[in-house]
Amino acid sequence: MKLIEMTVKGFVDETASDSPAPGGGSVSALAGSLAAALGEMVIRLTTGKKAFKALDEGIQKEFEAKLPELEKQHKRLEELIDEDTQAFNAFMDALKLPKETDEQKVARKKAMSDATVVAMQVPLETAKVCLSVLNLLPIIAKYGNNNAASDAGVAALNARSGLEGAILNVKINLGGIDDAPLCEKTKAECDKMLAEGETLKTDILKTIYSKIE
Amino acid sequence: MKLIEMTVKGFVDETASDSPAPGGGSVSALAGSLAAALGEMVIRLTTGKKAFKALDEGIQKEFEAKLPELEKQHKRLEELIDEDTQAFNAFMDALKLPKETDEQKVARKKAMSDATVVAMQVPLETAKVCLSVLNLLPIIAKYGNNNAASDAGVAALNARSGLEGAILNVKINLGGIDDAPLCEKTKAECDKMLAEGETLKTDILKTIYSKIE
């Protein structure tokens, strides 16, 4: 059964269980998906309003153009919830391969390293999509319906936590990959995304607090 | 239908829709619930291991004692997902009351203010429970199974984002409450919780990064 077809309660309970999946990778993709969904909601609660229709037409168009982008990211992140757990399970399968003969040991080691590269790429994509969500939110925070300001703020918080959560999952996988240049490059990419995401989140929340406090 | 009985996909899609509920309040309670669930998972993946059984007995007991506390908070936060949306809907009902006569206007205004006080108390509790989750996580981050270090980190990120997201929902409601001392007191309480949560999250993630980097 796909994780996204489980009930919310079922998903939380399955996370709490002693099986390692779903874990932080799937939860981070869900956080990102909810962030995109909240951004969509704020747009939908804004564009019909008088105050919005009084804005400069260019701003209106730019604001409305974020909706299909957020829908795309929300759907991709929903898929990544399951892909993360599938990639983890593939690693667990490699771990269970026989290790009696030298030949088996070599094959098992290669299968584990290959599965780790895949298991790393899923949260790496989750991190990238969460950062894209964060990049779409400043205009939503600024021109979104004031009554939904807290929703735009929660969107930024979840996109930011999805981003860093996914990066933690990338970094823990780097330890199992025997390719130093790939590891260095990926680590640098993650640190750059994290810094960019932190700046975006801080700016968005500054806008939100100026609206609600 | 209760939100937690919806599928994960259904919940995300309903969040994205043009109906204001579920919104940031329910999403923040879900983030907190997932944080507690990940904490439980890390405990379950730790206590059977040799490395854990080699620890000081006092530490083992303290570590294990976090499990029932997290279970309690995970369940309470699950309930708060629906309570937040119910409280918001009660406010929307008050908003729809007739406002033809002076008598109706006074009754409607009172009903709206009363509903806002309730609508504020739900995220205030969500914030408190998220902070309790954060308070349980340092020992889990420190002594938890190294293979699940990223999961403990994602737990801290989600508890922190649930905490601040709930506080945004408290603060946006304060604007509709005509009781200055209550508003001042609540705002101070929120800012104190936020500062405490930020320190906890920073310390927990420092432990996690020292394990995975």
Question: Per-residue pLDDT for A2 more than 90?
Answer: yes
Phi, psi of B145 (to 5 degrees): -45, 125
d(CA A209, nearest CA chain B) in Å? 8
B70: closest chain A residue by CA: A16
The pTM of the whole model exceeds 0.95 = yes
Phi, psi of A206 (to 5 degrees): -60, -45
Paired tokens of A59: 């701003």
d(CA B204, nearest CA chain A) in Å? 13
**Average pLDDT of B49-78?**
97
Contact B168 A3 (CB under 8 A): no
Residues A11-41: tens digit of each pLDDT: 999 999 998 889 999 999 999 999 999 999 9
Paired tokens of B112: 């709206």
Residues B105-134: tens digit of each pLDDT: 999 998 998 889 988 999 999 999 999 999
What DSSP line would sit under A166-182, residue for residue? HHHHHHHHHTT---HHH
Question: Per-residue pLDDT for B21 more than 90?
Answer: no
Contact B44 A17 (CB under 8 A): yes
Residues A114-152: tens digit of each pLDDT: 889 988 999 999 999 999 999 999 999 999 999 999 999
B149: closest chain A residue by CA: A172
pLDDT band at B82 (very low <50, low <70, confident <90, very high): very high
Considering only the beta carbons, identify the residue of A4, A24, A147 that sits closest to B150. A24
What distance in Å separates the CA atoms of residue B70 and residue A89, rounded to the nearest whole number?
Answer: 26
pLDDT band at B185 (very low <50, low <70, confident <90, very high): very high
Looking at residue A19, its pLDDT comes to 87
Return the residue in B3, B30, B41, B42 with the most chain A beta carbons within 10 A, the one to mutate for interface testing.
B41
Q: Which residues of B touch A208 (CB under 8 A)?
A: 168
What distance in Å separates the CA atoms of residue A37 and residue B113, rounded to the nearest whole number?
Answer: 29
Residues in a beta bridge with A7? B7
What distance in Å separates the CA atoms of residue A190 and residue A126, rounded to the nearest whole number?
Answer: 11
Asked if A33 contacts B158 with a C-beta cutoff of 8 angstroms, the reply is no
What distance in Å separates the CA atoms of residue A160 and residue A164, rounded to the nearest whole number?
Answer: 6
Torsion sign, CA atoms B163, B165, B171, B177: negative
d(CA A100, nearest CA chain B) in Å? 24
d(CA B196, nearest CA chain A) in Å? 17
Contact B212 A25 (CB under 8 A): no
**Helical H runs in B46-101?**
50-53, 57-95
